[in-house]
Amino acid sequence: MLQQTQVVRVEGYYHRFLTRYPTLEDLASASPAMVRESWEGLGYYRRAVNLHRLAQEVVQNRAGVIPSETEELRRLPGIGRYTAAAVASFAFEREVTPIDTNVGRVLRRVFHSRARSRALARRLERSAEMLLPRGGRKAWMFNQAIMELGALVCTARVPHCGICPVRAMCQTAVREAGRTTSASPRQRAQPGRTSPQSRRQSAGGLAVRRSSGPLHR
Ligand code: SF4
């Protein structure tokens, strides 16, 4: 439900859906029309179709057990790279980082502020792999923390570098601080005047498309 959709919009649907289909077996045995009706208004109906097919596949061919590894998860209907990593991490505490737009923005600003878009996705993945602590619970906490950092502090339009716990190692923040220091007294005295970097950030130039969607579904 959260693919391409914000939490605040999903909440009511989520609870109603679980009340109607409390188990995978309940969902698997429902008719397509019933599932569609439960999803009515939430949009992207392909997700409902895939979720229904996933429940049937797991009940009929996997003894009702959802797999915990990303490779197995990706064999299920509607599960792409991002969703597989999110389920593996948040449901099973596997050592993998789901890179959504918030996580991608933080990694890019901290480590790859000058990277070209062609090589960026792979670089973000490698950075996430290197940073991820070993040990299921630690990896889970790291993933929660970096998502929150991107959602609340390193926001798309105006990053709040002054309160950011990683600013000392952040390429973007260090470069921006250097620009401010080297600005003339007259420029510094004009609070409304911003550097080209600031203007790009304000225009969302560092944001990766939307603020809540995955880079890879
Ligand atoms: S220091 Fe600023 S740009 Fe860097 S990660 Fe923190 S909020 Fe984002």
Please state which of the ranges 3-7, 21-25, 84-88, 159-163 shows the lowest mean pLDDT: 3-7
Residue 91 lies in a domain: no
Q: What are 138's two structure tokens? A: 């630690």
CATH number of the domain where residue 110 is located? 1.10.1670.10
Length reported for the chain = 217
How many whole angstroms from 176 Cα to the centroid of ligand 1?
10
- What is the number of domains present in the chain? 2
Ligand 1: list residues with CB < 6 Å.
106, 109-110, 153-154, 159-161, 164, 166-167, 170, 172-173
Which residue, among 151, 159, 157, 164, has the nearest Cα to 212 in the 3D structure?
Answer: 151
CA distance linking residue 217 with residue 215, whole number of Å: 6
Q: Are 110 and 167 in a shared domain?
A: yes
Q: Whose CA is nearest to atom 8 of ligand 1?
A: 154
Q: Is the pLDDT of residue 97 over 80?
A: yes
Q: Are 167 and 115 in a shared domain?
A: yes
Looking at 65, 85, 113, which one is the last position of a domain? 65
Q: What is the pLDDT of residues 30-68, one digit of tens each?
A: 999 999 999 999 999 999 999 999 999 999 999 999 999
CA distance linking residue 65 with residue 155, whole number of Å: 37
How many whole angstroms from 216 Cα to the centroid of ligand 1?
23
Which residue, among 67, 65, 60, 59, has the nearest Cα to 83 in the 3D structure?
Answer: 67
Identify the residue with better confidence: 214 or 101: 101
For 135-147, b/e burial (b = at least 16 CB within 10 A) is eeeebbebbeebb
Q: What are 210's two structure tokens? A: 């939307």
Q: What are 41's two structure tokens? A: 């208004």
Atom of ligand 1 nearest to the CA of 171: 4
Q: What is the pLDDT of residues 114-128, one digit of tens each?
A: 887 778 989 999 999
Q: Is the pLDDT of residue 179 over 70?
A: yes
Atom of ligand 1 nearest to the CA of 170: 4
CA distance linking residue 67 with residue 88, whole number of Å: 9
Q: Provide the residue range defining the domain that includes 188.
A: 101-202
